[in-house]
Structure 1
């Protein structure tokens, strides 16, 4: 376990997480277009249906889910140690622990959803997606709030606070925009199985994108996904601050 908390290991895990979360949808989208599917704008999970883009979707997000959960634990443990060394109150430690649970839940669901195409398991897919979206935003909110408090104890954290807060706001906009458009499409109904109608719009493995509200919802989903990648990237300069405090203590 101690090996996983070394600065170089945490940095490599973060770099791999950022790279996979960024490259997976891009490569998958390129293959989606190459397979003759419509360009504007699919939900990310729509690209799981064609064989070629589905392969990169499954492989990329399965690995990303494992890395996301691992990164959440690594950062959570390092932050808790830093908080203890700085004498921060238990309420902040508890907030940090809650953020770890949110990150792990999102990571597990991301791994799981990579094997759960929506055209075969719509109900389960929706539950998994909700855990990913809500877990990611909750994690972003918690770590940003904790960063604000940590910046009052150590000025170095101030450098990452502003971009992290900005990207977290973008994530919230993405989540709210996506949810609002989906509910407008389903008639503000909690019965999301209305989305099963999209199965009738399948052209072989491609989904027809002629419904404006769903295309708008998908665009907000991409905004949310991009925001999360950027938030995770803000932790790269923070690792040395977290590990340095613990190494000095030892």
Structure 2
């Protein structure tokens, strides 16, 4: 009985509906979370252009942000290993460095997802240092992921036009975000991030005052808000590359019980 149950559980885990279900559920949850969080931002009378994504952890969107980001990251976590199995055979005959790079992909993907969980669980108005470290993990880990995907696509004989374009976009977005945030801090707070971020206490004490961009607050400076725009662009670009990569590779997931071919053969033997 236990053996039959284990076999059923394994078959369900490797099934096509589980693989694609995790992918599309994760994409749907994050899209809904981001959209509803911004709508709630506007409903509270906040400045339309533009919140940092981290701002959604405060105010009315706080619970949605926490649950939505955590659920997205956990649901998408298995898809990186699914991707590994789906593309493994295409690299079996390549040299060891390429096979190692292929193994790095799920590691980077998992790090990306765990960074998202940490961002959600550590709002920046409460645990700023952990939050910013987690955000850096997403930004730099995401750029590394896109770079590895681009190189691997080229090595496998594909033309990585869209991944290369989005890789360039992610790097440009990161640079622009840093430049505009630095300019905003220099203009309003004499280059001292510590003084600027003191206004974030308003996220706990008076969120509407914070989000409306009152003088002396983080969003009172247009350069800072422009930096937030490039943050959105950076986050979205990394997410789009990850989704398109997983979507493309997992569409042809084996139909027979969904198990990778070598596992099917093991069962049959």
TM-score normalized by the length of structure 1 = 0.83
CA-based RMSD of the aligned residues comes to 2.8
Q: How far 1:242 moved relative to its partner?
A: 6.4
Using the alignment, how far apart are the partners of 2:77 and 2:171 within structure 1?
A: 21
Q: How far 1:41 moved relative to its partner?
A: 0.5
Q: Which runs of 5+ in 1 are unaligned?
A: none
2:7 is aligned to none
2:26 is aligned to 17
- Residues 76-155 of structure 1 mapped to structure 2, 5 A cutoff: 76-84=84-92, 87-150=93-156, 152=157
> Which of 216, 220, 227 is 2:226 aligned to?
216
Q: Which runs of 5+ in 2 are unaligned?
A: 1-9, 214-218
Q: How far 1:184 moved relative to its partner?
A: 3.6
Q: How far 1:7 moved relative to its partner?
A: 3.9
- Residues 58-69 of structure 1 mapped to structure 2, 5 A cutoff: 58-69=66-77
Using the alignment, how far apart are the partners of 1:16 and 1:36 within structure 2?
A: 31
- Choose 1 or 2 for highest CA Rg: 2
Moved over 3 A (4+): 1-8, 183-187, 189-195, 200-203, 240-244, 246-250
Using the alignment, how far apart are the partners of 1:132 and 1:171 within structure 2?
A: 12
2:44 is aligned to 35
Residue 227 of structure 2 corresponds to residue 225 of structure 1: no
2:248 is aligned to 237
Using the alignment, how far apart are the partners of 2:195 and 2:13 within structure 1?
A: 44
Deviation track 1:110-146 (CA, whole Å, cap 9, x = no partner) reads: 1121121111111111111111111111111111211
Deviation track 1:148-173 (CA, whole Å, cap 9, x = no partner) reads: 111x2xxxx54xx3223323322222
Q: Are 2:73 and 2:116, in contact at CA under 8 Å, matched by a contact in 1?
A: yes
Deviation track 1:47-100 (CA, whole Å, cap 9, x = no partner) reads: 2110x211111111011121343222321333234322xx12211111122222
Number of equivalenced pairs: 239
1:204 is aligned to 206
Q: How far 1:243 moved relative to its partner?
A: 4.7
Using the alignment, how far apart are the partners of 2:73 and 2:222 within structure 1?
A: 30
Residue 261 of structure 2 corresponds to residue 247 of structure 1: yes
2:4 is aligned to none
